[in-house]
């Protein structure tokens, strides 16, 4: 019995290296403008090109009409006052550019070959304004079209899949009944519903469509001069090229491609742009955040006109904070000895170890504040913590011991830095995803002991409360909360970025000299087994695949375009509204929390339980959106309702306060009713 398998072409077998056809017009416009072939800007061309297509179909009577690319350019020529010769030149440019952007969907050839092996005849059915010859040429180019196959394109027949009439044409031309036809395509209406309405069997292929994150990127195409659309296209290609073995693996792959990669690529492109502008010779990507960033930079720099050495630098708060000490005061120990007790386990032994001291060496001083040997290994109370901190800041003998240990650690650290080329007067850059400038200042302090300049530093952002220092501040990408600039310091942003930027090794504890005289880092563990077992290699593989696939031709997209707005839109969708599969997979990430060897590994999110309703807040690095997505339907309803009530009460409080400020601008007192409202908002229910 004769069987026919028909395939949609675009986003089923072939796809573009950008998110949507509309964005390809923007890139085409840039090329045409640079060649002085259009009388307007690239954006004006793209918008007029879209409008011309809509008018062409409307004026011809709708989708079921023989509108071809020539018809569209007649409309465009009428608006832009183009001569017939100019129109023909632009038509040839668009066809060539369309062919340049097209690439096969991974496994497309295998999908078609599987139908051939089943003995089915192959047909290609496409709604397109460029005719059969062009479409067939692209299929031949990638080995998909073979002798004996046939191609049906809507503009050649004045009929579309969208109306079902093109399917009827295929059935008539092939002289078959609908029951022998199986159609595969990516459009839920044209390729699935209409195929079934025509009586054929439909096989959906929705993988080739943009996912919800890639659609967010596509919406920012105009603001990013096409760069976010190019990343959306690269993310789609990466997703399609990497098969997923489980739901967990699929969630890791898809979020890595469409959320992690845009963030990390955007940040890395900004770093490379600034490094080029500053004339930097070497860039150092700091462990552990920098491991995946370095892999991205190594791929992107090949596509840019920039020559710079890229290195991975082992370092951490634990390994750099003590060597950077040249005096002991409030500011210098702020990152080593916290002012107050937080969620970390802080004992006498743990805190003194941060200064490379053993409690036995300062036993008498500890006894003077009431801390005996029985107290050294337990968590300190608030008053004990305060007393020990005061002792460190006031005891001369203890300070001398700390500075001696710092000098010893600094000598070894400087030897490691010298090995890596950091101890040089050459202009260099340090890359970190932090927001506290801690490591920038620690490195600058160590280099200053040798009279070396402060290195340029590139950070994700700066949080509130970062104090000025003689070493200045790093350049920041996303936010500067010190000056209330950039994107708001949204809860969870840094946690998400730390999840994306883990590493395959443990934290750096210190440095040690080897027998051959060199220096090597000492790690908490050589292999970060919890993170690798979770699936971090899949994250790295996927992000690298996006960077490899990214169209970064400066003649088409702007590699220096700012992606911050697009990335923050991605963050809001992913962090606050993850799917259940994403919440389970990414919520199980083993987040390290703490200082080096003292850190603990905790899941980012687990399902809420009813008793959690009584809690005001969860621990640091908690992902509420993922916890909610994993919770029961009834509990989600209650928590959503509570959030709505809380928001309403806060709005009432703000309105009441504004009225009071207008009525009593010099008074800071609340009326009794306002006090009542404030007490409700601050209640445990909120």
Q: Where are the beta strands (DSSP E) in 410-495?
A: 428-431, 456-462, 475-480, 485-486
Q: Classify 456 in phi/psi space as left (phi over 0), alpha (psi -120 to 50) or beta.
A: beta
Question: Residue 299, SS3?
Answer: helix
Number of other residues whose CB lies within 10 A of the CB of residue 625: 19
For residues 224-239, give the mean pLDDT: 97
For residues 468-478, give the mean pLDDT: 92
pLDDT value for 681: 35
Statement: residue 346 has pLDDT above 70: yes
* Number of domains making up the chain: 2
Q: What is the DSSP string of 21-86?
A: HHHHHHHHHHHHHHTT-SSS-HHHHHHHHHHHHHHHHHHHTSSSS---HHHHHHHHHHHHT--HHH
Structure confidence by residue, pLDDT tens digits, 474-533: 999 999 988 989 988 677 898 999 999 999 999 999 999 999 999 999 999 999 999 999
Statement: residue 666 has pLDDT above 60: no
- In angstroms, the CA 230 to CA 269 distance is 14
- In angstroms, the CA 268 to CA 297 distance is 6
380: Cβ contacts below 8 Å, ≥ 6 apart = 341, 346, 347, 348, 351, 388
Q: Is residue 81 part of a domain?
A: yes
Share of the chain above pLDDT 70, in %: 94
Contact 438, 335 (CB under 8 A): yes
State both tokens at 68. Answer: 């071809």
Q: Report the sign of the C-alpha dihedral through residues 614, 615, 616, 622, in that order.
A: negative
Strand 475-480 to 485-486 pairing: antiparallel
For residues 191-195, give the mean pLDDT: 97
Q: Is residue 615 part of a domain?
A: no
* Beta pairing partners, 153: 126
pLDDT value for 672: 45
Contact 297, 311 (CB under 8 A): no
Longest CA–CA span in the chain (Å) reads 100
Statement: residue 106 has pLDDT above 60: yes
What's the chain's Rg over C-alpha atoms? 31
Statement: residue 619 has pLDDT above 70: no
Strand 456-462 to 475-480 pairing: parallel
Q: Is residue 312 part of a domain?
A: no
pLDDT value for 596: 52
Structure confidence by residue, pLDDT tens digits, 383-396: 998 999 999 999 99
- In angstroms, the CA 676 to CA 659 distance is 16
pLDDT value for 677: 36
Given 155, 190, 209, which residue is the final one in a domain?
209
**What is the pLDDT confidence band of residue 641, given thresholds at 50, 70 and 90?**
confident
551: Cβ contacts below 8 Å, ≥ 6 apart = 17, 18, 101, 230, 233, 234, 557
For residues 392-416, give the mean pLDDT: 94
What CATH number is given to the structural domain containing 72? 3.40.50.1000
HSE (side-chain half, CA atoms, 13 Å) at 310: 22
For residues 654-680, give the mean pLDDT: 56
pLDDT value for 597: 55
Structure confidence by residue, pLDDT tens digits, 35-89: 999 999 999 999 999 999 999 999 998 888 889 999 999 999 999 999 999 999 9
Question: Residue 506, SS3?
Answer: coil
354: Cβ contacts below 8 Å, ≥ 6 apart = 318, 321, 322, 336, 337, 595
Statement: residue 652 has pLDDT above 90: no
| Secondary structure, 3-state, 159-200 | CCCCCCHHHHHHHHHHCCCHHHEEEEECCHHHHHHHHHHCCC
Contact 653, 678 (CB under 8 A): yes
Given 148, 175, 209, which residue is the final one in a domain?
209
**What is the pLDDT confidence band of residue 273, given thresholds at 50, 70 and 90?**
very high
For residues 651-673, give the mean pLDDT: 65
Structure confidence by residue, pLDDT tens digits, 568-613: 999 999 999 999 999 999 999 998 876 655 566 788 998 988 877 7
Q: Is residue 27 part of a domain?
A: yes
Given 158, 183, 209, which residue is the final one in a domain?
209
Contact 14, 138 (CB under 8 A): yes
Statement: residue 617 has pLDDT above 60: no
State both tokens at 510. Answer: 């210190």
Mean pLDDT check: name the lowest of 27-36, 480-489, 620-629, 658-667: 658-667
pLDDT value for 331: 87
Contact 78, 56 (CB under 8 A): no
Mean pLDDT check: name the lowest of 132-141, 492-501, 507-516, 671-680: 671-680
- In angstroms, the CA 462 to CA 68 distance is 53
State both tokens at 383. Answer: 């008053």
Statement: residue 682 has pLDDT above 70: no
| Domain around 662 | 632-686
pLDDT value for 637: 81
**What is the pLDDT confidence band of residue 656, given thresholds at 50, 70 and 90?**
confident
Q: Is residue 224 part of a domain?
A: no
Mean pLDDT check: name the lowest of 101-105, 285-289, 290-294, 637-641: 637-641
pLDDT value for 343: 55
Contact 489, 479 (CB under 8 A): yes
Q: Which residues of 206-220 are buried (b: 16+ CB within 10 A; e: fewer)?
A: eebbbbebbebbbbb
Q: Is residue 229 part of a domain?
A: no
Q: Is residue 19 part of a domain?
A: yes
* Beta pairing partners, 543: none
* Mean pLDDT for all residues in the chain: 91
pLDDT value for 66: 87
Tell me the pTM.
0.89
For residues 207-221, give the mean pLDDT: 96
Q: Is residue 429 part of a domain?
A: no
Share of the chain above pLDDT 90, in %: 74
């Amino acid at each position: 019995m004769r069987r026919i398998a028909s395939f949609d072409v675009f986003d089923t077998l072939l796809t573009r290296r950008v998110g949507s056809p509309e964005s390809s017009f923007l890139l085409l416009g840039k090329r045409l403008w640079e060649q002085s072939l259009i009388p307007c800007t690239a954006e004006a061309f793209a918008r007029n090109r879209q409008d011309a297509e809509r008018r062409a179909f409307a004026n011809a009577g709708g989708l079921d009409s023989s509108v071809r690319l020539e018809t569209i350019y007649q409309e465009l020529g009428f608006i832009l006052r183009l001569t017939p010769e100019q129109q023909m030149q632009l038509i040839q440019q668009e066809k060539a550019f369309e062919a340049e952007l097209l690439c096969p969907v991974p496994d497309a050839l295998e999908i078609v070959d599987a139908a051939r092996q089943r003995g089915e005849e192959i047909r290609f059915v496409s709604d397109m304004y460029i005719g059969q010859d062009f479409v067939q040429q692209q299929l031949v180019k990638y080995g998909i079209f073979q002798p004996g196959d046939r191609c049906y394109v809507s503009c050649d027949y004045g009929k579309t899949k969208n109306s079902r009439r093109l399917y009827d044409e295929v059935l008539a031309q092939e002289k078959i009944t609908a029951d022998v036809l199986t159609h595969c395509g990516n459009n839920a209406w044209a390729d699935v519903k209409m195929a079934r309405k025509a009586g054929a069997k439909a096989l959906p292929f929705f993988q080739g469509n943009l996912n919800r994150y890639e659609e967010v990127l596509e919406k920012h195409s105009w603001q990013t001069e096409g760069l976010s659309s190019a990343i959306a296209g690269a993310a789609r290609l990466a997703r399609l090229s990497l098969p997923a073995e489980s739901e967990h693996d699929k969630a890791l792959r898809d979020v890595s491609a469409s959320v992690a990669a845009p963030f990390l690529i955007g940040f890395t492109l900004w770093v490379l742009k600034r490094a080029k502008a500053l004339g930097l010779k070497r860039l150092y990507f700091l462990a552990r955040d920098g491991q995946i960033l370095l892999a991205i930079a190594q791929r992107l720099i090949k596509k840019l006109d920039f020559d710079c050495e890229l290195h991975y630098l082992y370092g951490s708060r634990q390994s750099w904070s003590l060597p950077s000490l040249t005096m002991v005061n409030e500011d210098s120990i702020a990152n080593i000895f916290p002012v107050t007790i937080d969620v970390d386990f802080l004992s006498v032994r743990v805190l003194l170890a941060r200064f490379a001291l053993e409690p036995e060496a300062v036993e008498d001083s500890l006894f003077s504040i009431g801390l005996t040997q029985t107290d050294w290994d337990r968590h300190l109370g608030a008053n004990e913590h305060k007393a020990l901190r005061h002792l460190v800041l006031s005891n001369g003998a203890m300070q001398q011991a700390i500075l001696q240990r710092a000098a010893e650690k600094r000598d070894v650290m400087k030897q490691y830095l010298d090995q890596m080329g950091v101890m040089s007067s050459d202009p260099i850059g340090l890359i970190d995803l932090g927001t506290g400038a801690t490591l920038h200042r620690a490195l600058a302090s160590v280099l200053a002991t040798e009279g070396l300049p402060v290195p340029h530093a590139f950070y994700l952002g700066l949080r509130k409360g970062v104090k000025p220092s003689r070493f200045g501040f790093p350049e920041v990408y996303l936010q500067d909360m010190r000056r209330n600039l950039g994107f708001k310091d949204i809860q969870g942003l840094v946690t998400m970025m730390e999840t994306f930027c883990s590493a395959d090794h443990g934290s750096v504890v210190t440095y040690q000299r080897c027998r051959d005289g060199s220096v090597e880092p000492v790690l908490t563990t050589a292999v970060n087994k919890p993170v690798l077992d979770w699936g971090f290699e899949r994250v790295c593989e996927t992000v690298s695949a996006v960077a490899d696939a990214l169209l970064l031709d400066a003649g088409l997209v702007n590699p220096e375009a700012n992606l911050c707005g697009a990335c923050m839109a991605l963050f809001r969708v992913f962090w606050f509204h993850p799917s259940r599969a994403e919440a389970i997979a990414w919520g199980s990430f083993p987040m390290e929390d703490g200082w080096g060897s003292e850190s603990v590994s905790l899941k980012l999110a687990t399902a809420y339980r009813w008793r959690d309703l009584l809690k005001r807040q969860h621990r640091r690095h908690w992902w509420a959106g993922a916890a909610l997505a994993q919770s029961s339907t009834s509990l989600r309803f209650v928590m959503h309702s509570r959030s709505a009530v809380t928001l309403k009460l806060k709005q009432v409080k703000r309105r009441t306060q504004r009225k009071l400020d207008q009525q009593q601008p010099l008074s800071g007192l609340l009326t009794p009713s306002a006090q009542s409202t404030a007490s409700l908002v601050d209640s445990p229910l909120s």
